[in-house]
Every structure is written in structure tokens, then in C-alpha cells.
Structure 1
């Protein structure tokens, strides 16, 4: 199969037998219909999961491949939902009066990291995927968001503007030992930890939006794309390719999915039925 050939040629782990969840988009800017969709990593076997009556954003596939967590709106306020892939049922996980967004599932599929704005203070929380009471992990007066687990679940990378600009930080999974890891010019957003644990990918903002990677300890920063509106990276199962979305210029609101490897040379468009954004690359199928 393709995975065996790839592994033999490169010495790297495979990624072809994997799926991608993303937001499928259509319609004019300002009235975009955004619904959940899933497909194979090459664009085959595509299907829509939601009908588009409610907007869907930032989906993430659980590592056990049973659920998708995503953001939608409840009474015009962002809330976090869980979509069950076997039944097609959706349930509200977190969301009432407070703004909740940016969900990410832990490696053991037990927890969901998310951000919640409460009393004008945005912090990172976690809640059981099965439901329950959220537990607060950050307590700064700044905006803390975009939490992502390390592959072993022991640490969390996130973004915060506590220094005065949007930067990347890491902390233990219980919220302790928070430290800044980004020190370059510009701003940093949407961190995501590699499945190998060796890199953190992010969106670099500074006149343009570009995809980059750095060491979890900070340093060794490398920008991989040179588009003007590249954002939202997601790792392949082997930790050597990133999928992201590239917005079109001219204010059209259109976006497409793209991928790039760690050399930054092999950039390609990922075929989708309609426009696409917010890709989340799932693990290899069992």
C-alpha cells in the first residue's frame, strides 16, 4: 500500500491511511455557510457531517477517532459541542452564559482543553470529554487561549498576550510552571504539538500570516510557508507534514486547504469539494 512504499522510501512513519476533519465553506463573505466535513487525507471519501444551519468552527478529531469537538453558537454565543461519529449525534459540552471556544482533545481522549471568557478574563480550562465541571488551568489577567497537549499529555502549549503581545507558552498539564518560548518579532498564534513531541507548529503574524515550527523549549524557529494568509496548522500522524488553510485576497472570504512538509519546499493544495478551513488531521486508522 501507499503507506508501506512511503515508509520504505523515506524511513518515516506513514500517514496516508488517515482522515481530516475540516470546515467546509460556501457562500458570499459575511454570509458564509460553514459545516463540518470529513475526508481521507487526499480528499477522497468526502462527506458532510452537519447541514450548515448552525455555523461550525475549529473542529478537532479525538485520538480514539470516535468524536469531533468543535465550536458552534448557542443563542448567538460561542459554545463547544461534541459530534459522535458513529451515531451522528451532537451534544453540548460547554457553553451557557460565558464565551467558550478553541477546543482540543487530550491524547487519551479523556479531556478537552478549551478557552473561556469569564468576567472579561480569558483563561484555559479543561473538562472531561464525557461532560462535567470545567477546571481552570491559567489564572493570568491576560488572554490565554489555544491550548494544545504534548503527545504524552504531560504538558500544554498555549498562546497568551501577558507580555503585551501574542506569544507562545508551555506549562505542565495541571497549569504549573508556565514559561514563554517565543521571542521573535511579530505575534504567534494557534500552537499545535507534533505527534513526535519534537516540534510545535504555529501561525506567525507580522504583516502576513505564515506557518512555522519551533522547538518546545523555544528556539530553532523555522517558517515553512510564504503565503500572505496561511494559518491554522495541523500535523500529519507521522509528524512530518502540516496541513493548514490559506485565505484568498481581495476580501472574498474564500479559503482552501494546503499542506507543506518540514523542508518548506513541498507545498500543495489539498482537494476539497467546496472551500475549506480549520483542518484537523486525525491519527492513522486502526
Structure 2
């Protein structure tokens, strides 16, 4: 017996957070109280988009990316075209919904592509098969250059994902990371940026100097990172478009590292080591000078702002082992929020403001985990020889991180996982990679 679309939608959403059991509204759009559960992916149909003129292979390529985006979430299963009873040959033609019901498609996504010169236009509709209606807000058109055809596909998938799950999209985004090459004891490192799924890699620096911990600005047009170009760790600010670089706060006898932007992009927080002591500082990019935010004989590092800019989460070993603390953005002693066994580090605030992700080392294993901002509801999502450095997708529902294999020749790679611990998978890269940082959604 077929499962009604709205009931299946509730089950799909039920995996996303932890609360009560799903409850559906009796009228209007579904209102969901989200609960835990294990689901079968929702069956959907995405026929190859129609060529409305000059599209060539773009129509098939765009369709493939849309399918890859949706299936990659673990929430959807696309029904292969060999099982389709109807064929979509005209974007504005009638749809035989009974044929799509017969193969148990819950959602049907149709689209069309046209190309004129170097301009490409993609339009699409997503239908609730069982009531024969377009999902609210899921009939749109995107246009751009043919060079950006993958972005058009990601935008389509973002809309479909958002309309079905109620969550924000994250496919039309980029990831900056450290691309590595050579033996482990002499590893060359350079900055690179790619689409969230590993495509369209561009290199931003050469491998003449070690680079670490890149971070996007809130608008995605600048990157902060730590560079050893001078022989000492120094924070560098790069313009993504022009690749122009400048070193921030270069003081003799100091080392600066672990930078991150404030939510408004006007302030940088980072660790500064002077005379054997490491504290957290803030620097206004508008010329407001350097401010010290912590003052402790311990190591204070890895600061990350809350989305509203009012607080900073950071790592400190003031109790003897690295733990996680929160302090006002203006500085102070901070309040410890980590309470489990083991060592905690690299905390980063979710863009939704509801969770803090972290790295945890305990009993010889490394984990990526999340906890509420008061330290409650700690959940470990991964476990391996070495997992570290989580970064949030723009919608606050997926994490990417570095995983290293055991052994003298251990290799680093990028992985992602849902905040429930489901859908753990490796991100394809051309070689070893580390230190990922997710951009906001592209404009």
C-alpha cells in the first residue's frame, strides 16, 4: 500500500532533530513536531530535464547533479528512468499523475534547460504526486552563464530539499580546505576551494608555505587562514576574487593562529602566543585596534562567535585538560560547558545557534560531536583513529571534518555527517585534504 505524501514527509523530517513524535496538522501545510526515527528514503522521480533549445548535454548533466544532491542527503531515493511509465517531453505539457503514482513516486521534479550563447536558463517544478499540485514555492527559474551550470543545478536541488524538509538548503555553497601532497613528514600544503560536493576545485595559494585553518567571511568573499610564509604562524586575510593578501597583527616575538570572523565580518578573533602564554584577542578590521579577551596562564584557543555575535565559545586547558567554555564577546573568564570524560577542542557554533560542534578525544579514539549551548545533550556522531575540526553547513544540519587514517603513512581526507550521526560519507578530493570550512550559501 502506498504511503501518503504528507505522512512520509513527517517521517523524513522526523530524523532531523530530537524531540517528540511527529504530529501532522489537520489542514493547510503540514506542521511537524519533529522526532527521532529511522527512515526509508522518500522515493522521488527526476526525469531528464527537457532541452528547450541549445542545451545539448547540459540538460542531462544538470539532472544528474540535482539527483546527486538530493540522494546525497540520505533522505531521498530517485526512481530510475527505466522504471518510468510516462515520459516528460514538454515542460508545459500535461502530466499523467496516475503513472507516477503507479511507480510510488511521492514527488515528481520536472525541468527544462535552454542555452543562448554563453547564457543558460533552467526552470523547474516539483509536484506532490498524490494531489497533483506543485509544491508551494517550487516552480522557479534560474539564469546565469554556462560556466555556472552546476550552480543552477544546486539551486534547483536546494529549493526541492527545502520545500520537502522545511530546512534551509546547503548545496549552492563552497568549501575552502587545505590540499595536501607529498610524504607525511614533509607534507606540502596549499589552500583550495571547491563546491560542497568536491567539484570545481580552484587553488588559491601555492605550496611554498604551510597554510592552516582557513575560514570564510560571513559574505563568502574573504578568507582568513594561518600562514607560515614568514617562518612563524601569522594570520592572513585573502580576497577570494582578486587573491590579494595581507598579514594581520604582525608583532615581533608573537605567533597568531586559529582565526575566525565575527558574524558581521568586521572583527577577527584569534589566538596570540607571547612569551609562552596563549590568549584570545579580537582585532577590528576597521582600525579599532587589538583587544585582549582572555587573560590566563593556560592555553586559550579556537574561538568561535555565536550567530548573534554576543558570545564566544573557545577551548582552554585551564583545568588541566582541554575543555569548552563560553564567554561574552567582550571577554572574561568564561563558563565551562563540557562535562564528559576526555579532551574537548575546536568548538564551533552552529549557524542556527542551537548546537556547538566539537572534537573529542577519549579512550584512544577521536570523535566529532555536538552539544547544546549549555553543554547538555552531548552526542558523538563519529569515531575513528583521528577525526577533528568540524565545520557547519549553512543550514546547520550537516558537518564536514577531517579524518586521518592510522599508520606512518596516514592520509587525511574530508568527510561529512548529519547531526543525527546518519549519512557518514567521504567527500571526493584529488588527493589528501584537511581543515575544511564551509561557506555561506552563495548569493
Normalised-by-shorter TM-score class: over 0.9
Question: 2:367: which partner in 1?
Answer: 210
Q: How far is the alpha carbon of 1:253 from its aligned partner?
A: 4.2
Deviations 1:63-121 (A, max 9, x none): 11121000011432111101111211111113332011100111101011100111221
User: Residues 15 and 125 of structure 1: is their aligned pair in 2 closer, same or farther, counting only changes over 3 Å?
Assistant: same
Q: Distance in 2 between matches of 1:52 and 1:46?
A: 16
Q: Counterpart in 1 of 2:170?
A: 15
1:18 CA displacement: 0.6
Conservation of the 8 A alpha-carbon contact between 1:38 and 1:47: yes
**1:130-279 alignment to 2 at 5 Å?**
133-176=289-332, 178-206=334-362, 207-279=364-436
What is the CA-CA distance between 1:237 and the residue it aligns to?
Answer: 0.3
Q: Distance in 2 between matches of 1:211 and 1:122?
A: 25
2:254 match: 98
Higher-Rg structure is 2
Aligned residues: 286
Runs of 5+ in structure 1 lacking a partner?
Answer: none
Look up the match of 1:61: 216
Query: How far apart, CA to CA, are the structure 2 residues paired with 1:253 and 1:93?
Result: 33
What residue is the counterpart of 2:11 in the other structure? none
| Structure having greater relative contact order (Cα 8 Å, sep ≥ 6) | 1
Aligned to 1:107, which of 250, 256, 263?
A: 263
- Write the distance in 2 (CA, Å) between the matches of 1:224 and 1:129: 36
* Separation in 1, partners of 2:390, 2:250: 25
Cα distance 1:3–1:34, how it changes in 2: closer, same or farther (>3 A)? same
Instruction: In structure 2, list runs of 5 or more residues that go unmatched.
Output: 1-155
TM-score (norm 2): 0.63
Q: Aligned equivalents of 1:253 and 1:72: distance in 2?
A: 23
Report the alpha carbon displacement of residue 210 of structure 1 after superposing the two structures with TM. Answer: 0.7
| Alignment partners' CA distance in 2, 1:89 and 1:151 | 27
